Amino acid sequence: MALNRNQYKELFERLLTSNLSPEETTLLVNWLGDDQSDELSAGLIVEQLSLDTQMLDEQTKDALERRLQRILENIEEEKPVRRIPFYKKAIWRAAAAVIILVGMGIYFFSNTRLPDNGQQQLTQMIPANQITGGQDGAVLTLMDGSTVVLDSLGNGLITTQSGTKVMLKNGQLVYDGDETGVDVVGYNTMSTPKGRQFQMILPDGSKVWLNAASSIRYPIVFTGTDRLVEITGEAYFEVAHNAAKPFKVKVNEQTEIEVLGTHFNVNSYQNEETINTTLLEGAVRLKSANDKIELRPGQQAKSTNTGNIKVLNSVNTDKVVAWKNGVFDFEDASLQEVMRQLERWYDIEVVYQGDIPKQEFFGKMGKDLSLDVVLSGLEKSNVHFKIEANRKLVVLP
């Protein structure tokens, strides 16, 4: 069925408001892949991009402009047609992919140049649609070594340890106790496997969000002169203020973070190159084997295995804590960084066949999406893969 320009423009507008039927979406995608529509679709896409960026926040618009500019710089410009820039097929297909993914709730793209023939080599989609994103859940290890799986428990009392009640309230683990009269300080450990995340309130009232494949060890009552916890993986803290009893976080035996009352994020996964501590509010002091520094809001400290600390200014804190808000934020992320996040959230194993493609991504996507939707976005960014048994994702060259 052939449609005119106004009809296709209407389809674009409805796509961006998620009002397209599956049949109409197929019609639009097929039209974008028709060689006869090159000039018309290129002009319409450029027009729509300029109009619909109003829907995005300033940070996302800036990222989109930067990425599209990089694409344009890598593609030879041909003669203009009716005052509308007309580029090789790669550019309008690239822009079309951006628009389509925005309409799906995913603005997710790579800055690598597509092949001149513009063809996407789609690989076999196996039961990736059966691999869903993670959910709230964790394993609580009590002071006597026994464990409690929290995934399916409802609100209520879990146990009592040394007079301290351990409860679930509104999906959070909560402690209700008093440090007075406690003879022996016991420790609990909250662990999240791959595909799980959880929230808790520590005995002092501090709030903690644990990302997938992470853990936090803490006393059931904070006694003594400080409040010391130990973490692995990634955690976000909102620390209850207590100037008389500093809050300290020990990270992988390498770094100690001291705070009085603040909001900060720590990423300390073993397969990441550095331990990243990002401050959102307040002030923190970091100590490692070789360095001691203080952070201001908006700064990030990168601690290396050698004990050195490097400070970055004006980092994108929204990106850093996107995980706790149910979002993947892949701005300026490499393929390896993207895959490490997917490994943890979808409980998959990622391996690379041959050389690892050198790509950089941008954009956001909901963590509630099934793996097949995520992989579909990767394919549109010219990333190829296959899925094997035991939830193994093989990235192809």
* Segment 207-254, tens digit of pLDDT: 999 999 999 999 998 988 899 999 999 999 999 988 889 999 999 877
Residue 53, pLDDT score: 44
Please provide the distance, in angstroms rounded to a whole number, between the alpha carbons at the two ends of the chain: 37
Domain match, 187 and 49 both: no
350 within domain boundaries: no
Residue with the two structure tokens 């209700």: 176
Give the SS3 label for residue 328: strand
Please state the domain count of the chain.
Answer: 2
Among the candidates 270, 301, 320, a domain finishes at: 320
For the cut 70, the answer to whether the pLDDT of residue 6 exceeds it is no
Domain match, 91 and 151 both: no
Long-range contact pairs involving 263-267 (C-beta distance under 8 Å, separation at least 24): 263/236, 263/237, 263/238, 263/239, 264/236, 264/237, 264/239, 264/295, 265/234, 265/235, 265/236, 265/237, 265/317, 265/320, 265/321, 266/231, 266/234, 266/235, 266/236, 266/237, 267/233, 267/234, 267/320
Domain that holds residue 103: 5-110
Domain match, 148 and 239 both: yes
Distance CA(118)–CA(397), nearest Å, equals 17
Per residue in 137-186, pLDDT (tens digit) is: 999 999 989 999 998 778 899 988 878 889 998 889 999 876 655 556 78
Distances (CA, A) of 255 to 231, 248, 276, 301, 314: 11, 10, 10, 11, 22
**Model-wide pTM > 0.85:** no
Per residue in 251-297, pLDDT (tens digit) is: 987 789 999 779 999 999 999 989 999 999 999 999 888 889 999 99
Indicate the pLDDT class of residue 378, thresholds 50, 70 and 90.
confident
Domain match, 291 and 143 both: yes
Domain match, 98 and 60 both: yes
Domain match, 141 and 99 both: no
For the cut 50, the answer to whether the pLDDT of residue 94 exceeds it is no
